[in-house]
Structure 1
């Protein structure tokens, strides 16, 4: 399914805690939908990367400029007519509100996973600035998407292909009652 075949959604935000597979799933979706993929980590200022690398959890104050930069990128891509998939932790409702910015063409995809499964994945991951020790702070910060956010919720205890297949089949316009 390409963006031209399904123009109902033109931006997806693939969210979840570190190690849930956001970038992997976003890339798989990008290949299937033929959409551009970005990783929100690319928009972190150096100070945020340094803090996380040192095992220090980010504060909301650290996150606000980063989230605004990510939202601006989504807005730029949408303004140019480009469909985009953004891999972004988006752990709190307030963060997602900034990213979605009231756009009806944007959907949240929540990769939900068991803490033990994700911890195992983090321990097996190399060359990433996010140490496994910060996983607990990620789960403490996490506010699962509410029903009124119309999220696509997918459990991550399956293969990448199975998860991507499930998300693609769940993509459909959100019908709101007037």
Structure 2
């Protein structure tokens, strides 16, 4: 049975799901770099979502399954309507559901929203080199690597390379 996702604006209550998806710091850092402290708390997520209420150019989204249960999350940040571009960040799927195409479906819906609803010609995101599954997912959606930072993020004693990826809408 094919799972069908829907996107909706994130709600503060979604924090309890996000918190449950990160049981170790390594996985949390793959998702957020140093944006949040470990362990992640519902209060941190609540404050993060509250920030969107004051930012007219950024939004949080939650992917929900057929029953309305959150199964993924991402943000669209720094909308630039003049340049017709927006940045995606904080992309995550419930780890218990990974490997089933949900990431692909969620990111595809996000791209569709960005292009068709927001009128963006370019969507960007970043991914670490030690997250090859996520990178493959983004490539499958149509993102390509534009550049890389060799010294992107230091976690413990590891330097994580950062790929800057972009999806460019095709002219119809």
- Could you tell me the TM-score, scaled by structure 2's length? 0.34
Taking structure 1 as the reference length, what is the TM-score of the superposition? 0.33
**RCO comparison, higher one (Cα < 8 Å, 6+):** 1
Structure with higher helix content: 1
**Structure with more strand by fraction:** 2
